[in-house]
Amino acid sequence: MMTGNGLVDGEIHDLSLEGAFIHCLEMPNSRDNFSMVITAEGRLISITAAVVWTGTQRFSNKNVLGGIGIRFEQIFTDDRRFLKDVIANHYKNKISRMVFKKEKS
């Protein structure tokens, strides 16, 4: 992420079409919009985002991570469509694995 304070490294742990939770050790200034580039299936996607909250997030695997919740302010229409397909495929595969595990039991 390129913020007013410089470059901040982070890792996305929860992604939607509207925003994401990003685990990062250094918190960007929450009043500034910032630019970021994410990589999905080899494609670089440029996004302008805003911080909507900072803190910790608990995941189903019991991991608790510190970071920021962001809202996408600007993303190209083609990139948003591509991201929609990536997210849909991720959850489709996740549901298929859950159903397969249930059938094996």
Q: Which of 3-17, 22-36, 44-58, 72-86 has the highest mean pLDDT?
A: 72-86
> Three-state SS string across 23-41, please?
ECCCCCCCCCEEEEEEEEC
Phi, psi angles (nearest 5°) of residue 25: -80, -30
Tell whether the model's pLDDT for residue 98 goes beyond 70.
Answer: no
pLDDT band at 90 (very low <50, low <70, confident <90, very high): confident
- Selected from 2.40.10.220, 3.30.465.10, 1.20.140.10, 2.60.40.1180, the CATH number assigned to the domain covering 2-104 reads 2.40.10.220
Q: H or E segment at 84?
A: helix 77-104
Which of 47, 35, 53 has the alpha carbon at shortest distance from 82? 47
Phi-psi region of 44 (alpha: psi -120 to 50; beta: other; left: phi over 0): beta
The predicted model gives 15-43 an average pLDDT of 85
